Amino acid sequence: MVNQEQLDALNTAIEKEIKLGHKQVGWKLGFGSPAGMKALGITRPLVGALFDSGEIKSGAEIVLKKYNEPRVEAELAAHISHDIDSGASLNQIKNSVSSFVPGIEFVDFHSPPINPTFVLSENIYQRGWILGKDNNTGWIEAMDKEELLTSMGTEKWDPFDNIEAIIGTLEDNFDECNKVANQIGRGIKKGDVILLGSVFPPHPVNGGSFHVSMFGQDICMRFRN
């Protein structure tokens, strides 16, 4: 769980977006891999916020010249069907997940991630996101049997399976997200979307399009200079 200094940094970042007229529509987890947590000296993933201003339609194009260090992440994501109480049990959380879907996050690593407080003050570098469509399939127990496929231009990654070994367990990630969301005061609400973690560190954009496929859905983010 974050300390008060880190919580204040995140809260300030959220208030800044709200003052710009942006509506919060969910949450994201970051630096949740073993390497990411080690780099920042943390034991649980950091939690940031998602806003309607960051939503990108699959296939849409991003102009890269607006950003300093544009990178992408291939994510496991979730759609939420019910409010999640602060003290919700794992079963209650499971019943609040409408579906798991593939996700893409676009980030701008304009400054080094020197410590958790700085990273949270930047809302974990969040700049845009795409989620697969909610298909109302509910919680999936056998996540280790699912594969996530990723490619960018001519570069292709081997299929990612056993995803929880990479991003952390779904139980732990939802628990941390729910704790921080309630510390902020908003909580996790019906209709929210959550980016639960990336299968690899933020990757420099080196191709014209980035594809992520999982659960029979393919989503794409395109780029131009």
Taking the C-alpha atoms of residue 148 and residue 203, their distance in angstroms, rounded to an integer, is 16
Q: What are phi and psi of 64, to 5 degrees?
A: -75, -25
pLDDT score at 1? 63
Task: Answer for the pair 182, 83: CB distance below 8 angstroms, yes or no.
Answer: no
Task: Answer for the pair 144, 162: CB distance below 8 angstroms, yes or no.
Answer: yes
pTM above 0.85, yes or no: yes
- In this structure, how many other beta carbons lie within 10 angstroms of the beta carbon of residue 120? 26
The helix (H) or strand (E) run that includes residue 183 is helix 170-184
Three-state DSSP at 69 gives coil
pLDDT score at 85? 94
The predicted model gives 66-73 an average pLDDT of 95
pLDDT score at 206? 87
* Structural domain 4-224, CATH architecture: Alpha-Beta Complex (3.90)
Question: Could you tell me which residue, 60 or 1, shows the higher pLDDT?
Answer: 60
pLDDT score at 2? 83
Amino acid in the structure at residue 167: I
Taking the C-alpha atoms of residue 158 and residue 17, their distance in angstroms, rounded to an integer, is 37
pLDDT tens, residue by residue, 112-142: 999 999 999 999 999 999 999 999 999 998 8
Task: Answer for the pair 123, 6: CB distance below 8 angstroms, yes or no.
Answer: no
- pLDDT exceeds cutoff 80 at 162: yes
pLDDT score at 128? 97
**Average confidence score pLDDT of the chain:** 95
Three-state DSSP at 70 gives strand
- In this structure, how many other beta carbons lie within 10 angstroms of the beta carbon of residue 214? 25
Q: Where are the beta strands (DSSP E) in the chain?
A: 24-30, 46-51, 61-63, 70-80, 97-108, 126-131, 149-152, 155-156, 193-198, 203-204, 209-214, 217-224
- Determine if residue 216 is left, alpha or beta; phi over 0 gives left, psi from -120 to 50 gives alpha, anything else beta: left
pLDDT tens, residue by residue, 26-54: 999 999 988 889 999 999 999 999 999 99
pLDDT tens, residue by residue, 75-118: 999 999 999 999 999 999 999 999 999 999 999 999 999 999 99
The torsion defined by the Cα of 176, 179, 181 and 185, in degrees rounded to 10, comes to -170
Q: Interhelix angle for 4-19 vs 170-184, to 10°?
A: 70
